Structure 1
């Protein structure tokens, strides 16, 4: 077991790569009552085209299968795994994102039993044709529920207008039609390819003794047999730099229109460190201009173009990146026109040295506060590890940022050809 100390933030990570390739990270926090565990595979909704384990021919699986697989892993031949956690006094959950699928628990007692339950159920799949058919009805209802939510439709509508072919434009859960094509064999194909221990990360944070916990996990893994670690070959369509559509709109039963501007971020050829660098700078800029204390937000609010529903987010991954800003607006056309103009004007805006230092201090403060959360540390450590970056090196990365880095980023950041607008309009 390797130990790495981060003196600046007073944290120690214990890590070990198991013989089967599973990467384990432990963060012992004896002062905490709670323990949080998350078991993550580097496999998400965008991984639709790949070469299955042990085969030579590429396949394309139905949209939504990663999310479907997440649901089915909790159901065993004789029980529902959620009940196993409940009996141990734990709260369990799971989620599927564009790039990852994760299974997690939170508990204040029976920590080792809960870790065993987490690892064992994920590493012991059971799929039957009958249970797969039953799940299609359940997930179809979930998809229809989200289809009725204007904010969700606005989010995916914006991404869909940004991307021509990339599967990030598809809802993580797929469509009601696409999931009807999922079979038991499809689930096993995806599981065997992407759920090999060598493609997974286990992170446990909380109140336990690290040596004892690592021994416990090591013994658990040594009792199981896995095939040789596969080389996973995934393929994504070639994606143009430009946005797919410059504008798009749908009608729904809303009283106030919703309007969004999307920006297609360019990640091709970037390393994990470069992705982090750009993510930090874009987030700092968006916060500077569009947070509730930001200059541009104040202009939009005072003009009556937005209300407190306005928000923004930016996501940078290995295969894609996007930034979305928007919310409710009674004057959506005027709002979108002004918002686009503001974004394009950032190149002409001059950020003073004093403002830049304020941006850095705010970002450092946000990061340090977030480190009080076990969930944040475990989730983000796993996320950045899969990008080849250590979460605890984010602080020195922020501290090392210079005003010149920001200016260089701004110069290449926003191009009108990479922007789209999307509206959710009231039905007439």
Structure 2
């Protein structure tokens, strides 16, 4: 199998360990690189605004956007800001909040252990003051308003609001201007103590490091915290109908050209791990066959001037929800939407060819192997897959074992027009 030897060699040196306090640690030595990346992530995202504390029956509901708010405040330390510490050490650092996790990371070519200590220290040391929390509300309010002015974000968010009745993926990751006003230090500490417990977190390190030496460093650091492993957090999500909330939404915005996103809601949910990985690959293959840049459809739509090179598609596959998006900038959103639907229906009728299936399988395999040259890709993909119960390095085997019939069977069930919504952003005037 193409790339098998290299992948086996790569994984042979990986060290994995669950520490006594529940923290999952993965260290992957890559000796031929200069850069080292460390990623510290908690399974806590914008969806988790209602939950039950481990070991109790207490149900907690917090304002939307608090996970993102917490991410902003975590860099605050008594000594100042952790960003400045990283800069002093010559390391680049950042963080992000998604629907499902909050992730902190740095990359460096020097002072690795000093930088790792800064990462562990600031993520493990909450420091919130009433004054800084009030100041942050103003900063995030401006950020939310900035996204309101971003047509690409609005066409995407409106699609999710159309696909979902109640599931919190329809709410902006940053919350709303109203919801963040209800955030205070007490709620921040409550969410931190619940979701930033090491049992709910993972640390991934990749680069030219001695894995055993790094593990020893992390173990000594974590022992000082004197924490024990805790039970899984119970997350509470509202019941979500299988239908879409609305079929279409149009807004006017300051854009030179209309934007279109068409989406399908995945109702085959409730599982993660290998089964979720397989579905992720299947929908990816179908979208690539139907709308990829090498497809006849893409070429036809491009030649007709209905799309440009920003046209694209994606599939978000998670345990509790999933959806795909198709679209981009277009001079005629109505016509493009009709062409997309017509193309999908054509594939439903005629099916996909075995030849196209094999071509795209080889493409996916080659792309994956090629991507292993990027430490950034490995680090962030590993974390993204991990939070979905998937080992990213299972991808080649899952792809290899995927049958033509399995892919064909998904066309009819997934691309159901009853579970489709359309979002458009049109020019003002």
Q: Secondary structure at the match of 1:226?
A: coil
Partner residue of 2:298? Answer: 297
Q: Deviations over 1:147-206 (max 9, x none)?
A: 101001011111111000000001111111211111111111111110000000000000
Q: Distance in 2 between matches of 1:362 and 1:205?
A: 26
C-alpha contact 2:162 2:246 (8 A) present in aligned 1: yes
Unaligned runs of 5+ in 2: none
Q: Secondary structure at the match of 2:39?
A: strand
TM superposition shift of 1:299: 2.3
What is the 5 A alignment of 1:253-332?
253-332=254-333
Q: Secondary structure at the match of 1:220?
A: helix
What is the 5 A alignment of 1:30-109?
30-53=31-54, 55-109=56-110
Q: Distance in 1 between matches of 2:136 and 2:55?
A: 28
Q: Secondary structure at the match of 2:90?
A: coil
Q: Distance in 1 between matches of 2:312 and 2:358?
A: 24
What is the 5 A alignment of 1:110-125?
110-125=111-126
Query: Displaced runs of 4+ in structure 1, greater than 6 A?
Result: none
TM superposition shift of 1:257: 1.0
Q: Distance in 2 between matches of 1:372 and 1:77?
A: 39
TM superposition shift of 1:61: 0.9
Q: Secondary structure at the match of 2:298?
A: helix
What is the 5 A alignment of 1:192-203?
192-203=193-204
Partner residue of 1:131? Answer: 132
Partner residue of 1:176? Answer: 177
Q: Deviations over 1:203-225 (max 9, x none)?
A: 00001111111100000001112
Q: Does 1:144 align with 2:126?
A: no
TM superposition shift of 1:226: 2.4
Q: Distance in 2 between matches of 1:368 and 1:70?
A: 33
Q: Distance in 1 between matches of 2:349 and 2:155?
A: 29
C-alpha contact 2:271 2:320 (8 A) present in aligned 1: no
C-alpha contact 2:163 2:420 (8 A) present in aligned 1: yes
TM superposition shift of 1:55: 4.5
TM superposition shift of 1:341: 2.1
C-alpha contact 1:262 1:322 (8 A) present in aligned 2: yes
TM-score norm. by structure 2 comes to 0.96
Q: Deviations over 1:96-152 (max 9, x none)?
A: 000000000000001111111111110010111111000001111111111101001
TM superposition shift of 1:241: 1.1
The 1:344–1:240 alpha-carbon spacing in structure 2 relative to 1, beyond 3 Å, is farther
The 1:253–1:260 alpha-carbon spacing in structure 2 relative to 1, beyond 3 Å, is same
Partner residue of 2:337? Answer: 336
Partner residue of 2:10? Answer: 11
Q: Distance in 2 between matches of 1:67 and 1:133?
A: 15
TM-score norm. by structure 1 comes to 0.96
Unaligned runs of 5+ in 1: 1-5
Q: Secondary structure at the match of 1:118?
A: helix
Q: Distance in 2 between matches of 1:14 and 1:104?
A: 19
Partner residue of 2:225? Answer: 224
C-alpha contact 1:22 1:201 (8 A) present in aligned 2: yes
TM superposition shift of 1:76: 1.5
Provide the aligned C-alpha RMSD in A.
1.4
